[in-house]
Amino acid sequence: MTTASARDRLRWVLFAAAFLFYAAVALLSARTAGVGLSGLAVFFDGHLYLEIAKSFPLPYAPEALHYAGHAPGFPAAIYLGRVALPDGLLDWGRVALVCVFAVAAFSTVVFYDVCREMEIPALGGALLFAVANPQWLSLASTAHAEPLAVLFALLSLRAYLRDELALCALFLSLATLTRFPAILLGLPIAWGFLVERGRRDVRTLLWLGLPIGALLLLHVYLSLRIPGFVSVWDAHSVFWAPKLIPPFSGLVAWAKPGLWRTFLLLLTYGTVFVYLASLAVGLARRDGTMLALWVASILLFHVSLANSAPHLPRLVILAWPAALLLLWRAVALRVRPFALAAGCLCTGAYGVWVSQQMAVGAVALQRDREYIAEEIRLLDVDVSHWLDFERRLRRPPVPARASGD
């Protein structure tokens, strides 16, 4: 009983420490970028999620065809946070950031639980999860949907480890409705239940099909709600224009001179190297196949579709928990506490710097655009105000950053 209470206290300490850390990174990034904390939530993709959040409880306005490429999970969390908090306490921007801080901190706690389920050092794993990936720090301190998707994916993994099929499928469905590529995680989970555990009954197949059913229901809703809606894929192609390309060709095309692009290439190739290393470790162990499939399904999909190198570390963040579990399990017993602490300090400091650079880059890219200024003015407005997206698409492109900037 005493041990259980101590674990509960440790979970609360982990949550509080991670929450405060992510909030501090956000404050520092906002200050470095020269914007208010609330305004920071508008940059990156934040303004898109805020627009959808303001449309609840009947999400997506009929004139919002191009917003349909963004899943409703994170906007729903923002809306629920806005409803739950007292009126006037926080504006929409701060609510979005608090939601991100909270779900990212909770993800740290769930990762701790997953490590315990896998019988590997849990506290060290949780610390590495919180600070070892610079892109994770950037996402956990800005208004992005990825932390919520990672949380649902981790909850699904924890349910899988406990052989709780219904909960596993439910959390995977929520992850899919938060970041559509999360549906790819159905492959490793299906492998685990059907092949490794030999569960091939009708009930198992029906539960495994739940994420597909959830995505289909969303598709039907959007078709009824938005005139001219064709598919989630078509709506999302407005932003990314995805197309099948030879693996890594989009990354090679980015190999041009300049300090900023060099930094982005190092981050991108570093990410790919870590994930490939985790794949090698997972495939070398008989009990690592499921996690290796987890990493491969996300990594290979995005490497073949990503037309722009800088976005890859963010897009493949759903592979981060599985990759870290594979690598940490392989080296945990050989890492001394002092080396772990030093490594966390180094990676944490680097991640904080990356977060600042990402914020500065996003603000510099978007600051002069009219729709951003309009969205900042509407942070205190509860009624949705859909932006003229067609006019936005016709705006001339922002000049590229100078080489070496």
Q: Where are the domains of the chain?
A: 2-229+337-384
Q: What is the pLDDT of residue 47?
A: 86
**Mean pLDDT across 283-310:** 84
> CB 228: neighbour CB atoms within 10 A?
11
Residue 192 DSSP one-character state: I
> CB 227: neighbour CB atoms within 10 A?
9
pLDDT tens by residue, 254-285: 555 666 667 777 788 888 899 999 999 999 98
Confidence of residue 236 (pLDDT cuts 50, 70, 90): low
- What does the alpha-carbon distance between residue 93 and residue 382 come to, in Å, rounded to a whole number? 12
Over 80: is that where the pLDDT of 400 sits?
Answer: no
Lowest mean pLDDT among 80-94, 97-111, 147-161, 234-248: 234-248
Over 80: is that where the pLDDT of 355 sits?
Answer: yes
Region for 257 from its dihedrals, namely left if φ exceeds 0, alpha if ψ lies in -120 to 50, beta otherwise? beta
**What are the helix (H) ranges across 34-85?**
37-40, 46-53, 73-84
Q: What is the pLDDT of residue 396?
A: 44
pLDDT tens by residue, 121-178: 999 999 999 999 999 999 999 999 999 999 999 999 999 999 999 999 999 999 999 9
Residue located via tokens 């929450």: 19
Q: What is the pLDDT of residue 403?
A: 34
Q: What is the pLDDT of residue 405?
A: 30
Q: What is the pLDDT of residue 313?
A: 86
Single-letter amino acid code for the residue at 315: L
Over 80: is that where the pLDDT of 182 sits?
Answer: yes
> CB 141: neighbour CB atoms within 10 A?
30
Q: What is the pLDDT of residue 240?
A: 53
Residue predicted with more confidence, 286 or 96: 96
Angle at 189 between CA 185 and CA 191, to 5 degrees: 115
Structure-token pair, residue 299: 């990594």
Phi and psi at 368, nearest 5°, equal -85, 5
Side-chain-side CA neighbours of 312 within 13 Å: the count stands at 30
Structure-token pair, residue 146: 């990825």
Q: If we measure between CA atoms, which residue out of 302, 311, 240 comes closest to residue 69?
A: 240
Lowest mean pLDDT among 88-97, 136-145, 264-273, 378-387: 378-387
**Mean pLDDT across 9-38:** 94
Work out the end-to-end distance of the chain between its first and last CA atoms, rounded to an integer number of angstroms.
57
Structure-token pair, residue 325: 């579990």
Confidence of residue 249 (pLDDT cuts 50, 70, 90): low
Confidence of residue 6 (pLDDT cuts 50, 70, 90): confident
Residue 399 DSSP one-character state: P
Residue predicted with more confidence, 367 or 116: 116
Q: What is the pLDDT of residue 98?
A: 95
Over 70: is that where the pLDDT of 385 sits?
Answer: no
Percentage of the chain lying above the pLDDT 90 cut: 56
Residue predicted with more confidence, 227 or 123: 123
Q: What is the pLDDT of residue 215?
A: 94
Name the average pLDDT for the chain: 85
pLDDT tens by residue, 15-24: 999 999 999 9
Structure-token pair, residue 257: 């001179």
- What does the alpha-carbon distance between residue 85 and residue 382 come to, in Å, rounded to a whole number? 13
Single-letter amino acid code for the residue at 298: I
Lowest mean pLDDT among 68-72, 292-296, 368-372: 368-372
Q: What is the pLDDT of residue 375?
A: 77
Phi and psi at 342, nearest 5°, equal -65, -40
What are the CA-CA distances from residue 9 to residues 257, 344, 364 (Å)? 50, 22, 42
* 3-state SS class at 56: coil
Residue 194 DSSP one-character state: I
- Whole-model pTM? 0.90
**What are the helix (H) ranges across 177-319?**
186-191, 202-208, 210-225, 232-240, 249-252, 259-284, 289-305, 312-315
